[in-house]
Amino acid sequence: MATEVWGCSDDLIEFCGDVDGECGGDSDETLVVFSDGTILGVKYGKGPQGIWNINTVRKGDLLSCIEGCSDEEADRYSDTALFNDGLKWAIRCRDWDKVQ
């Protein structure tokens, strides 16, 4: 089953599909690491707008695309990451430091 990932409210990241559930998120970037090697940066607030922003830090084998959102009045006021079938898990990383 394919998986979709998007932001909801102002403090939740939603997962629906092979990976199903939710975790916390906010205006500080949250990294989400997936079993296929994808790493997404997710945060509430795209510039001055109340839209969830999702960017690709690393693209894994199952990430299909990220559908952008530019309308904070949309039903789903969030970018949406779309994965092909086969994800096994996702891990939210709140505090992280890149080692150079």
Whether 100 is in a domain gets the answer no
pLDDT at 10: 86
**Comparing C-alpha atoms, which of 49, 48, 38, 52 is closest to residue 93?**
38
On whether residue 11 sits in a domain, the answer given is yes
Is residue 98 in some structural domain? Answer: no
Which residue range forms the structural domain that includes residue 50?
Answer: 3-93
Q: What is the pLDDT of residue 95?
A: 67
Beta carbons of 31 and 40 less than 8 angstroms apart: yes
pLDDT single digits (tens) 79-96 = 999 999 999 999 998 766
User: In angstroms, rounded to a whole number, what is the distance separating the alpha carbons of residues 6 and 98?
Assistant: 24
Span 11-68, pLDDT tens digits: 999 999 999 999 999 999 999 999 999 999 999 999 899 999 999 999 999 999 999 9
pLDDT value at position 50? 95
Q: Is residue 17, in this structure, part of any structural domain at all? A: yes
What values do phi and psi take at 6, rounded to 5? -155, 165
Q: Is residue 39 part of a domain?
A: yes
Give a yes or no: residue 99 inside a domain.
no
Is residue 98 predicted with pLDDT exceeding 80?
no
The count of domains in the chain is 1
Q: How confident is the model at residue 72 (pLDDT cuts 50, 70, 90)?
A: very high
